[in-house]
Amino acid sequence: MISFSCKSRLKEDSKIDKLVQQMTLEEKIGQMNQVMNFIDTMPIDPYFYNLIQEGKIGSVLNAYSPEMIKEMQRIAVEESRLGIPLLVGRDVIHGYRTIFPVNIGLAATFNTELVKEIAKIAAIEARSEGVNWTFAPMMDISRDPRWGRMVESCGEDPYVAEQMAIASIRGFQGKNGFNSNSIAATAKHYVGYGAAIGGRDYNTTLIPEAELRNVYLRPFKAAVNENVATVMAGFNELNGVPTSGNIHTIRDILKNEWGFKGFVVSDWASIKNLEVHAYAKDSSDATIKALQAGVDMDMCSLYYLDKIKELVLKGSLSEELIDDAVRRILKIKFELGLFENPYANKDNKLITEQALDIAKKAVIQSTVLLQNKNKILPLSKDINKVAVIGPLADAPYEQMGTWVFDGKSENTVTPLKALREYLGNKKINYAPGLKISRTRDKKAFADAIKAAKNSDVVLLFMGDESILTGEAHCRAKLTLPGYQNELITEISKLGKPTVLVIMSGIIHMIEPYLEQVDALLYGWHPGTMGGPGYVDLLFGLESPSGKLPMTFPRTEGQIPIYYNHNNTGHPASDESWVRMYDIPLKAWQTSLGNTNHYLDYGFEPLFEFGFGLSYTEFNYSDIKLSKETISLDDSLIITARIKNIGGFKAEDVAQLYIRDLVGDIVRPVKELKGFQRISLNPGEEKIVEFILYPKDLEFHNGKKWLIEPGDFHVWIGNSSKATLMSKFELK
């Protein structure tokens, strides 16, 4: 008996077959063409109007208004020969109208249910204005904070990226298939884009096959397993072959090995970029190489529209390749229900109370407490005067962060506004000190210093304007721009209790600030509800529970630095690190011990992956394993006791790490294999439980996947420096 789902699939395939049979070659090529209308006025520009009417556009992106989207769909559905609806793409990256923390901040929540809910809200809001396809989630592994696009990533760990990708896709698309509130998701950028040499966007990437499989491809495989609708080929070259023309990664791995059923879209004009890379000699060559590699839709270079017909007629391209691409694109359009209803879902609302509540919760759970000397935080509401200082204290546009096309400044609640609402305006001494984050003068320092002197506590809101993060916005020097450093120094001289909140999309080298301030909250760019979220944290209505999704270096010279590195043959330790200024005069060359460290900065980061303080303390103890030995058809239960030994109700993120002690290739010193959020009252304790399967121990040796027998270590704790350890054997 055929199940209902199989019947539906057969019916859909039949519809696609029937439609493809009716299509001319030109109409097929049109489905493979995505274009942006650069004229933002109505009526639709005549050139663009004619392209849609003639069936030469399958998708549009970044349309300027709901009215324009509706009109373009009307033309496609009512005036083109076959009435095929358009896919309407948009960069719905961390919210649509309700803006949530930037993606690196969402990763810091270690809360997949929250991330799923955020993607669901974004989808509902986008669909309300006719957008039915997003270019998210981004799942590039980012180990270099100089790379501007780390802000869109989930950080350095493939397991976190996997889990966040799954959560986002379920939120955007729905767990059990599309509905009228869903939008198609895009797994991007395929693949290795985050490994750009020097952290410079678009730069060369060199990744051995084993590392490609074990680290960079893992989130994409998880996305394919979750039935992600589309995959975006990246800008970068990978081991000498641009990823938008890479047969090995797209055709061989993604489509053939993994069985991906959706379609592959190029990044913006990345097919044209094959010429710039010097991989293709002209537009015809670029078209052939991209299509043969498996790129089904051309974003904005117009090469497919201009060249495919000529190449098919000449015999340089098979029409079977075109048919396969068109079938994949039509499949997504049918699954989204666009043939039944291509227009906006007007029942959906923007910026609901529920959306704002979730946005505030995301701010609270994403913010990471890195320092709290003498437990200065939380503050008392009974405080007399509070100085609010810094260029990000009242910058509604900037706190939304990068890749915000549809958020509105008027909907954003800044820290200053939220503090005035919570404490009353009379308690606030506001003086920004700097007009914007890049201001390089001290004209307003005097007012800021005066405000600080006349207050009981100083709140510094420092960071970056949104334009200083994101695509092509890479930084070689990761310090606060403008004269923010100087302002922090001047305020610190006053001896006032001082709290620094950093609002950014990147990692700053914050070690100098730790000596100058009492507490430091890393808040990322928090989005619409940044202000209320920070107020709840600063005044103890909530305890910080965010954890670092990337290792924080002490200096740029340590980059790249990440927790899941290999051991090397000369591993460093505190005992083996000889400080540069402690070296005896005329010391013999090998007398320092020959270990893997820097003479000036050692081998440890400032803060490790997974780190984050709370207003309470948690104690981990009693790690237990269900077995000491497991087989390939078995599983292992690992438990530990976690107790809140402080005086504040709070949440912690329990983290499970393993180490494969001996492998066919060298394995990392630690690998994250699980995490859970645990809420505990003062004095309360719980047993946290993780299940580990032999499949979780699998790795690729550059040639094939292996699950090797041998000894393993396992840890449970609240950062990658977890010390509560046990061991087991796989037979």
Question: In the beta sheet, which residues pair with residue 205?
Answer: 238
Q: Are 452 and 496 in contact (CB under 8 A)?
A: yes
The DSSP annotation for 420-441 comes to HHHH-GGGEEE--SSSSTT---
Work out whether strand 241-242 and strand 368-372 pair parallel, antiparallel, or are unpaired: unpaired
For residue 73, give the nearest of 339, 262, 330, 346 by alpha carbon.
Answer: 339
Q: 3-state class of 660 per DSSP?
A: strand
Respond yes or no: is residue 633 known to be catalytic.
no
522-556: b (≥16 Cβ within 10 Å) or e: bbbbbbbbbbbbbbbbbbeebbbbbbbbbbbbbeb
Q: Round to whole Å and give the CA distance between 713 and 640.
A: 15
Q: Round to whole Å and give the CA distance between 589 and 522.
A: 41
For residue 671, give the nearest of 702, 703, 698 by alpha carbon.
Answer: 698
Q: Round to whole Å and give the CA distance between 618 and 642.
A: 7
Q: 3-state class of 115 per DSSP?
A: helix
Give the tokens for residue 700. 């690729």
DSSP state of 375: G
Work out whether strand 685-692 and strand 636-644 pair parallel, antiparallel, or are unpaired: antiparallel
Q: Round to whole Å and give the CA distance between 109 and 690.
A: 19
For residue 601, give the nearest of 587, 618, 581 by alpha carbon.
Answer: 581
Contacts of 561 (CB under 8 A, 6+ apart): 143, 551, 553, 605
Gap between the terminal Cα atoms of the chain = 41
Residue entry with tokens 């960079």: 216
Query: What 3 state SS string does 479-531 have?
Result: CCCCCHHHHHHHHHCCCCCEEEEEECCCCCCCHHHHCCCCEEEECCCCCCCHH
For residue 304, give the nearest of 279, 277, 269, 252 by alpha carbon.
Answer: 269
Q: Round to whole Å and give the CA distance between 250 and 187.
A: 13
Residue entry with tokens 């899941």: 564
CA distances from 442 to 439, 461, 484 (A): 8, 17, 10
- Selecting among 157, 201, 267, 298, the annotated active-site residue is 267
Work out the burial of residue 443: count CB atoms within 10 Å of its CB; fewer than 13 is exposed, 13-18 middle, 19 or more buried: exposed
Q: Are 601 and 580 in contact (CB under 8 A)?
A: no
Work out the burial of residue 37: count CB atoms within 10 Å of its CB; fewer than 13 is exposed, 13-18 middle, 19 or more buried: buried
Q: Round to whole Å and give the CA distance between 643 and 398.
A: 39
The amino acid at residue 336 is L
- Positions annotated as catalytic residues are 267
